[in-house]
Structure 1
Amino acid sequence: MAKRVVIDPVTRIEGHLRIEVVPENGYVKNAYSSAQMWRGLEVILQGRNPDDAWMFVQRICGVCTTVHALASVRSVENALQLEIPYNAQMIRNIIIAAHALHDHIVHFYHLSALDWVDIVSALKADPQKAAKIAESYQDWKLNGASVFKAVQDKLRKFVESGQLGPFANGYWGHPAMKLSPEVNLIAVTHYLQALDYQRKATQAVAILGGKFPHIQNLAVGGVSTAINLDNEATLNMERLYYIKQLLEEVREFVHNCYLPDVIAISAFYKEWLNYGRGVDNYLAVPDLPQDTKGEVFDLPGGTIIGGNLSTVKPIKSFNDPYFINNVAENITHSWYKGDWTRHPWEEDTIPEYTGMPGGYVDGNEKYSWSKAPRFRHNGNYIPMQVGPLAQVLVGYAQGHKLTKKYVDQALSMLSSLAGTKADINALQSTPGRHIARAIRAQMLSDLALKQWEQLVDNVGRGDYEIFNPPSYPAGEIKGCGFHEAPRGTLSHWCVIENGKLKNYQAVVPSTWNASPRDGKGQMGPYEASLIGNPIAEPEKPLEVLRTVHSFDPCIACAVHMVDTEGEEIVKVKAL
Structure 2
Amino acid sequence: MERELFIDPITRIEGHLGVKAVVDESTKKIREAWSFGAMFRGFEVFLRGREPPDAIHLTSRVCGVCATAHANASAKANDMALGAVPKPFGVLIRNLAWAALDHIYDNPTHLSILAGPDYSGVIVSKLTPSVYDEAKRTKAEHSDVHGFSSIGDIMDALNPLQGKIYILALQMQKIARQMGVLFYGSHPHPRTLIPGGIGATVTEETLIEYSYRLTKLTAWAKFIATIWEDLANFYNSIGYERQGITYEKPNLISVGTYEDPEAYSSLGESYEEIYKNIDDAGRKRYMKPGLILDGELVTDKLTDMNVGTIELVDTSFYDEWDGLIVEKDPLGNKLVWGIPELMKYHPWNKTTIPHPQAQDWRSKYSWGAIVRFAWKGKIYPIEAGPIARMWAHAVQNGGKVKIELPQTNVLEMPQGTWDKMTLEWNIPKVRASTTIERMRARAFNFALYVEAAWNNLLAALEHAKSGSLETSRPWKKPTFSVGFGFDEAPRGAVRHWMVVENYKIKNYQIHAPTTPNLSPKDRWGYRGPYEASILGVEITEELPSDQWTGLDIVRSIRSFDPCIACAVHMFVGNRRIEKLFTPLATI
Aligned-pair distance for 1:441?
A: 0.8
CA contact (8 A) 2:43 2:62 kept: yes
Give the residue type in structure 1 aligned to 2:143: Y
Mapped pair 1:275 → 2:257? no
Residue 285 of structure 1 corresponds to which residue in structure 2? 255
2:307 to 303, 316, 325: 325
CA separation of 1:50 and 1:561: change in aligned 2, threshold 3 A: closer
CA separation of 1:427 and 1:104: change in aligned 2, threshold 3 A: farther
CA contact (8 A) 1:34 1:368 kept: yes
Aligned-pair distance for 1:463?
A: 1.1
Partner-residue secondary structure (3-state), 1:299: coil
CA separation of 1:452 and 1:410: change in aligned 2, threshold 3 A: closer
Mapped pair 1:119 → 2:87? no
Residue 394 of structure 1 corresponds to which residue in structure 2? 392
CA separation of 1:102 and 1:473: change in aligned 2, threshold 3 A: same
Distance 2:211 2:115 in 1: 29
Partner-residue secondary structure (3-state), 1:22: strand
CA contact (8 A) 1:331 1:372 kept: yes
- Return the TM-score normalized by structure 1: 0.82
Aligned-pair distance for 1:567?
A: 2.3
Give the residue type in structure 1 aligned to 2:156: L
After superposition, give the CA deviation of every residue in 1:105-127 in whole Å (9 maximum; x if it has no partner). 11011001111112378999xxx
CA contact (8 A) 2:87 2:472 kept: yes
Distance 1:207 1:491 in 2: 25
CA separation of 1:502 and 1:138: change in aligned 2, threshold 3 A: farther
Matches within 5 A, 1:101-116: 101-116=104-119
CA separation of 1:57 and 1:89: change in aligned 2, threshold 3 A: same
CA contact (8 A) 2:402 2:424 kept: no
Give the residue type in structure 2 aligned to 1:269: Y
Q: Structure 1 regions of 5+ residues with no counterpart?
A: 146-178, 227-234, 413-421, 571-575
CA separation of 1:494 and 1:564: change in aligned 2, threshold 3 A: closer
- Return the TM-score normalized by structure 2: 0.80
1:442 to 441, 447, 453: 447
Give the residue type in structure 1 aligned to 2:373: F
CA contact (8 A) 1:427 1:433 kept: no
Residue 575 of structure 2 corresponds to which residue in structure 1? 566
CA RMSD, 1 decimal: 2.8
Count how many residue pairs are aligned between Structure 1 and Structure 2.
501
Distance 2:512 2:36 in 1: 16
Distance 2:453 2:403 in 1: 17
Distance 1:121 1:282 in 2: 31
Partner-residue secondary structure (3-state), 1:519: coil
1:425 to 407, 430, 444: 430
After superposition, give the CA deviation of every residue in 1:492-517 in whole Å (9 maximum; x if it has no partner). 11010011111111011101101101
Partner-residue secondary structure (3-state), 2:496: strand
Residue 371 of structure 1 corresponds to which residue in structure 2? 369
CA separation of 1:13 and 1:433: change in aligned 2, threshold 3 A: same
Aligned-pair distance for 1:544?
A: 0.5
2:66 to 61, 64, 67: 64
Aligned-pair distance for 1:261?
A: 1.2
Identical columns (%): 30
Aligned-pair distance for 1:237?
A: 2.4
CA separation of 1:494 and 1:400: change in aligned 2, threshold 3 A: farther
CA contact (8 A) 1:516 1:523 kept: yes
2:229 to 259, 263, 270: 263
Distance 1:299 1:524 in 2: 25
Distance 1:485 1:345 in 2: 21
Residue 460 of structure 1 corresponds to which residue in structure 2? 465
Partner-residue secondary structure (3-state), 1:556: helix
After superposition, give the CA deviation of every residue in 1:88-135 in whole Å (9 maximum; x if it has no partner). 1111111221121110011011001111112378999xxxx9999568
Give the residue type in structure 1 aligned to 2:401: T
Distance 1:132 1:546 in 2: 22
1:479 to 483, 488, 491: 483
Q: Structure 2 regions of 5+ residues with no counterpart?
A: 130-134, 268-277, 322-340, 405-420, 580-587
Give the residue type in structure 1 aligned to 2:165: H
1:299 to 274, 278, 287: 287
Matches within 5 A, 1:118-517: 118-119=121-122, 136-140=142-146, 143=147, 181-187=152-158, 188-226=163-201, 235-255=202-222, 257-270=223-236, 271-279=239-247, 280-290=250-260, 291=262, 292=265, 293=267, 295=281, 296-306=284-294, 308=295, 311-316=296-301, 320-338=302-320, 342-356=345-359, 361-362=360-361, 364-399=362-397, 403-404=401-402, 409-410=423-424, 423-425=428-430, 428-474=433-479, 476-517=480-521
Partner-residue secondary structure (3-state), 1:450: helix
Distance 1:144 1:433 in 2: 22
CA contact (8 A) 1:94 1:448 kept: yes
Give the residue type in structure 2 aligned to 1:303: L
CA separation of 1:205 and 1:401: change in aligned 2, threshold 3 A: farther
CA contact (8 A) 1:89 1:289 kept: yes
CA contact (8 A) 1:284 1:386 kept: yes
